[in-house]
Structure 1
């Protein structure tokens, strides 16, 4: 996708109804655009996958099946998938637009979450993972870039189904890759074993550890060293985590049979909430437009073996962030985000 200039897509209409407005994210396998749904008159996010995938029948079959499954998910903490389609330039997904940005964007600014804030993030994510697991879905790529927020700070998990579809794609990056982000992959993913929802819990435990401490455990100088370091060791108990430390360690045990599942993780977090102060409002990063020379790359690329790209920030000629208009189109249609304030401990959909 590096050969495709982001600006070339602006103004195009996909599927006869999704007019691309501005690029808002890019990674190894896809570009993401803010778009207008001209039929329903609302803002949406459109993820355009790599053009090489358009001719991959194995991927397209899995992509169609996973897109349908993801579209059937209806949970307060799962990003809604509205539509999907295929164009000459590659398949695309249409999702709800979330203006609060990602956890990755928060962390890339040097901000760390308090234990109370991390607990709320973990609780909402655990509820979403439990919901998906009960429906037979394993995410396989839980990482800060896939934890998004609406304008009020409510968490949504993005990209359910996409990691599994990419696993069956013949296309890889030139260097050759394995699926699953190295820094957040579970031991069973490293071993190539059968996965269930506990693999996602492990990845979430890594995310919570990083969100509070600013460090990712087991990171080594090489991808292989990063992967091998977690096969026998539990996630360490960091003092910064406080009361969350033992919970994160239990969610990060290398043996899935000894690990908390999503239900148990949610229960443990809920029990710990009474011993923590209420969470402050999350320091949301928001969304900024990208150009062709400075993009907000996914610092946790889905494919293993890729170098972690530098984090860059889009700026205007004056040095100020280039912020796109997040308001709905002038016709005044309701935006797909804004489902109420972030839930305090003990409230929200289960």
Structure 2
């Protein structure tokens, strides 16, 4: 085949819709001649970032596909896995940068697998949490230039790297860093678990660390896309084999939700010690061996200087008896928050150095300070004194508080940001009808109807009470409002009820 000329290359760029005619003409004008080498023409396009090396290579080969996924132009490949390839892409009109996870051809040709991929993607679209990489769109499309159908997900593009690569560079993390990352990971797991979803493919390569140092989980539910594990544990995805091996070795039910907790503990173990708790092997029979899971060295043996608070979390998460393991990610999350607080307070003592009574007192104090951890409350209140009271008293329990005086501006925040707060408290004390109208609109709008909300009213505001549209996640409180009762109601609406607090006599007396 004859060598490709710069002119022929330029025509392909236009034919493949990578650039418009006028953009190519501008390049020719800048070069001052069409009598240039292919390499010179390619270099100016690359230098001006009009094309990427990935695109150039495909153009030279004459490949007409792989440049666009829906409305998104593929810039380059950023990762490849068992089932899919991931590309950095940019929306052709808005310039928004996202990632496209594209199902491999051998799976897209199987209708059952393709449907499962799409179904799992649709499930993942419903997950919106700071520690879960969101799925924005789920697509299938055909092209006249290729056989079959492309199946792909449009997901958030995260500037950073995965935890596996970071551990290869760093070796291990300090207890404080590892615990904060583990709080992120477990927060995402807990959020999904509340919605009936487990991960089933938890490993360091499925944890992305953003440029800000926060952890985000990827590939929720996509482990189910692997070849289904048969009763003898046969599967094509190594991590699916690991989950099967763990459940067989520990006599746990198949697809046990607590298996995610074991592998979360395994990640924590690795981050803290720099040592993999499970020996790495590609051999399926070795991965299924019971001894691989039952004979893991304790974290205290491997890293005896670790603080007791974090070592105990690892130990409980990796209990081989699933009934003694944390029963939910939420339970593990609570212990991680307490461990983080102890580390922050400078408590890095080894096991046995803290008396039980002092430890119990510390736990009660830390639990109080962390009651509102990772929870944001939006207060819609026009009275400045009331704003200050609610803000100060809720912050004391660890809540993040956003205060807005205009109810319509509060609704606008949700239109601009999908989830600025976990719950909204509308106060009709001074605002009256505008507050209840916003409360009702918040409960009827498609984007916010599932978000919990509270309406605070005066006893004599009977018309406001009658106008309020209540529901399972919407409630009214009547003045005077005790902060403890407000906190209790907030947690009930968030499906996270408060435990009995022996030390809360002071809060009981606090009224707004």
- Describe how 1:1-350 pairs up with structure 2 within 5 A: 8=58, 12-15=67-70, 17-87=71-141, 88=148, 90-168=150-228, 177-178=236-237, 180=239, 187-188=246-247, 193-219=253-279, 222-227=283-288, 228-233=290-295, 236-238=298-300, 239=304, 241-243=306-308, 244-260=310-326, 261-277=328-344
How far the C-alpha of 1:36 sits from its partner, in A, is 0.4
How far the C-alpha of 1:121 sits from its partner, in A, is 1.0
State the distance in 2 between where 1:43 and 1:229 align. 45
**Taking structure 1 as reference, are residues 236 and 208 closer, same or farther at Cα in structure 2, changes over 3 Å only?**
same
State the distance in 1 between where 2:286 and 2:238 align. 16
Deviations 1:80-114 (A, max 9, x none): 10112234464221100000111111012243111
Deviations 1:211-259 (A, max 9, x none): 2222111316644334422443566123254331121010011222211
**Taking structure 1 as reference, are residues 220 and 155 closer, same or farther at Cα in structure 2, changes over 3 Å only?**
closer
State the distance in 2 between where 1:166 and 1:182 align. 10
Q: Decide which moves more: 222-231 or 88-97.
A: 222-231
Please say if residues 200 and 259 of structure 2, whose CA atoms lie closer than 8 Å, have aligned partners that are also in contact: yes
What is the aligned length? 274
Please say if residues 66 and 162 of structure 1, whose CA atoms lie closer than 8 Å, have aligned partners that are also in contact: yes
Q: TM-score, normalised by structure 1?
A: 0.69
**Taking structure 1 as reference, are residues 278 and 74 closer, same or farther at Cα in structure 2, changes over 3 Å only?**
farther
SS in 2 for 1:188: helix
Cα RMSD (Å) of the superposition?
3.3
SS in 2 for 1:47: strand
SS in 1 for 2:316: helix
Q: Decide which moves more: 221-230 or 99-108.
A: 221-230
**Taking structure 1 as reference, are residues 262 and 192 closer, same or farther at Cα in structure 2, changes over 3 Å only?**
closer
Greater RCO, CA 8 A, separation 6+? 1
State the distance in 1 between where 2:245 and 2:271 align. 18
SS in 1 for 2:88: strand
Q: TM-score, normalised by structure 2?
A: 0.48
2:391 counterpart residue number: none
Structure 2: gaps (5+ residues) = 1-53, 142-147, 347-416, 421-493, 497-512
How far the C-alpha of 1:40 sits from its partner, in A, is 4.0
> 1 or 2, which has the higher helix percentage?
2
Structure 1: gaps (5+ residues) = 170-174, 280-335, 340-348
